[in-house]
Amino acid sequence: MLNLKNFTQKLEHAQNIVITTHIYPDADGLGSQIALFEALKSLGKNCYAVNEEGLPSRFTYLDPDQSVEHYSHFKKNRPTQIDLLIVVDTHELSMTGLVKEVASQANEILFIDHHPDGKYLSKDHCMDSSYSATGEIIAEIIESLTIPFTRSMGFALYTAILIDTSSFRYPNVTSRTHYYLAKFLETGFKPYEAYALAYGTKKISYLHLLGSILSSAQISENGKIAWLVIDSKNLQSYDSKLEDTYSIINHLLILEEIQIGCMFRIDEGNIKMSLRSKGTLDVGIIAQKFGGGGHLHSAAARIPSNQVDPHKQITEIVKNIQNLLID
């Protein structure tokens, strides 16, 4: 259960507030950050939306006012006092990259997150894994402050939930989720507008890329795990960008009997593993075993690559995941 009273008390005594999210930010982290930034600014707070690398180009449409700034810029112009550091969509300071330096200068730190973790008690932070996305938590916080949703807030939060729930398909999407989605739509935008910007239109080369990648999909010995591999050769062959591949993993979940979909991207000495699940199988726990994290239905980890034969390493990773299911 969210401790909104604790949030209100910390906010009441804070004037200079920094809001950040995790490195390699996704739509949930950014949408939550941008909406909360606007909401707190409307209360007269001095707010700073700061990320290690600023705003990824594929998400610039979420921030038309260019609120999110690069940490290097903030570092040169930071206020002399930081009353409150708010970290959204992660409960690990280390996941904020260089922005974690702000923590040592902030009077208070508050985590707002829907990823489950036992280290931080919900009574001290706004953390609840029953919410579909951090964007849903932010919506409840904004509503509790009696701040009206603006179009830009609603659009950012709608997109956050849209993408983090893979278009509302996960079991943690509830009537509460749809209550807030309806509130967002009342601000004046249409669902198809958010969907079009989130997933975009594709070139014919994307269909060829999709066909190539899906045709190489494999299934584990126990029939519960489906996986596919993407490397730079795939992208070069079909004149595609890395961002074109992000949603491909969701195709694996339509396979009969499959419980987990895995996508592996081989890149610069690392294997980026993305995990998706259906039902009650928690891939967040699996990702933690590999040094990553996430939540029930969506998680990721970055694994150092075996430069000699990364494909063989991926096969071993799948076997390890299969063994975790048995355990």
pLDDT of residue 166: 87
Paired sense of beta strands 82-88 and 16-21, if any: parallel
Instruction: Give the Cα separation of 260 and 223 in Å (integer).
Output: 10
pLDDT tens, position by position, 205-243: 889 999 999 999 999 998 999 999 998 888 888 888 887
State pTM to two decimals: 0.85
**Confidence band for 131, pLDDT divided at 50, 70 and 90:** very high
Domain ranges of the chain: 4-199, 204-326
Identify the burial level of 267 via C-beta atoms within 10 angstroms of its C-beta, where 0-12 means exposed, 13-18 middle and 19 or more buried. middle
**Protein fold of 4-199:** inorganic pyrophosphatase (n-terminal core) (3.90.1640)
Contact (CB, 8 A) for 129 and 116: yes
User: Concatenated DSSP letters for 82-98?
Assistant: EEEEEEES-S-GGGGGG
Asked if pLDDT for residue 122 goes beyond 70, the answer is: no
Q: What is the CATH number of domain 204-326?
A: 3.10.310.30
pLDDT of residue 133: 96
Question: Which range, 101-115, 148-162, 195-209, 228-242, is most confident?
Answer: 148-162
- For 94-105, what is the mean pLDDT? 92
For 56, phi and psi rounded to 5 degrees? -60, 145
Do the two domains 4-199 and 204-326 of this chain adopt the same fold?
no
pLDDT tens, position by position, 35-65: 999 999 999 999 999 999 988 888 999 999 9
pLDDT of residue 247: 85
Under DSSP, the state recorded for 266 is: E
